[in-house]
Amino acid sequence: MQLNRINIKDISQIAKKIGILWVFFALSITIAILSPNFVKALNIITVFKQISMLGILAVGSTFVLISGGIDLSVGSIVALAGVCAAMFGGKDMNLPLFIPIIIAISVGGAIGFLNGVGVAYAKITPFIMTLGFMISVRGLALLLTNGKPIFGLNEGFMNISNAPLFRIGGVAVPNMILYFFIVVILMSIVLRFTVFGKWLYAVGGNEESARFSAINVKRVKLTVYTINGLLAGLCGVLMASRINSGDATVASNFALDAIAASVIGGVSLAGGVGTIWKTIFGALIIGVMQNGLQILGVSPFIQTIVQGLIIIIAVFFDSRTRSVQ
């Protein structure tokens, strides 16, 4: 009996480390076999397009979750940032493109900053703080657009996300994917090679111990929510560019999707555990699964059912490994 217990512990630890890769490959290969269209260049680009935004948000949510917090407001921040970008991206204004981009990111950062102030200084529990903002910020976006999407944007606006970076075999790879990779690479360097990254793990692992170790817990939390806000802001402008409008109703699922991707990627909801690359594979699994089920003509409702189940299974393995420790 004792021997069996050790085996399960070993297996789930190894599974945790590389399991995600196996799941991803198993999934991809299965779908590829079932439908050869899957591996065509156009389809692969589509998958990456679909997870570009999810990926950026998942990176941010990984940071927040590792620090022991949670951010439910990212979807609303995306909408608000997109609306703000559209407000300054109109044909009539004809401002250089970097202005709406900077504004969107700044708005995102500002909301994130406020989240951070509430959590770190007012000691409001993150779930509640970001839930409140999720609702209010959405309201603010709707207020700014008066409920109607903003159209008539600058010609170049669409290019922010969609302009082809280069072509592979005749298929265009849009800018979005570049932004995605830049964010992923940059943020994974921050998480692994900076002092701030180590502080995130320390605060998430044991906040009290981190405080006694002279780590500025308040500032760490403030920073992480601000970063998440900035990333959501970036995502907002990418979204607005993609749909070529400022729409206050978009991205309502984004927060949960981002958290789901992180959790599938092994980030613990209790904090202190997780890496960027595994989260990206979590996002890829979601993307591949959505894409595969689409290609196979499966109802989008079934996609949603399966996605929920995957999250449950991933969290099950997470809690199992934690409690064994």
Residue 302 φ then ψ, to 5°:
-65, -35
Q: Is residue 88 helix, strand or coil? A: coil
Judged by phi (left if over 0) then psi (alpha if -120 to 50, else beta), residue 172 lies in beta
Instruction: Give the containing element (helix H, strand E) for 79.
Output: helix 74-87
How many whole angstroms separate alpha carbon 258 and alpha carbon 56? Answer: 9
Structure-token match 């809690």, residue found:
319
Minimum Å gap between C-beta 189 and another protein is 9
Which residue number, 221 or 242, has a Cβ lying nearer to another protein? 221
Which residue number, 7 or 37, has a Cβ lying nearer to another protein? 7
Instruction: Decide: 217 and 121 in contact? Cβ < 8 Å.
Output: no
Which residue number, 193 or 316, has a Cβ lying nearer to another protein? 193
Which residue number, 7 or 94, has a Cβ lying nearer to another protein? 7
Which residue number, 67 or 241, has a Cβ lying nearer to another protein? 67
What is the binding site for another protein (CB under 8 A)?
1-2, 6, 193-196, 198-199, 201-202, 205-206, 208-216, 272-273, 322, 325
Minimum Å gap between C-beta 198 and another protein is 5
Note the Cα 157 to chain centre separation in Å.
23
Minimum Å gap between C-beta 299 and another protein is 40
Which residue number, 97 or 210, has a Cβ lying nearer to another protein? 210
Instruction: Decide: 218 and 33 in contact? Cβ < 8 Å.
Output: no
Minimum Å gap between C-beta 275 and another protein is 13
Which two tokens mark 272?
Answer: 């202190």
How many whole angstroms separate alpha carbon 65 and alpha carbon 62? Answer: 5
Minimum Å gap between C-beta 226 and another protein is 15
How many whole angstroms separate alpha carbon 234 and alpha carbon 275? Answer: 21
Minimum Å gap between C-beta 188 and another protein is 14
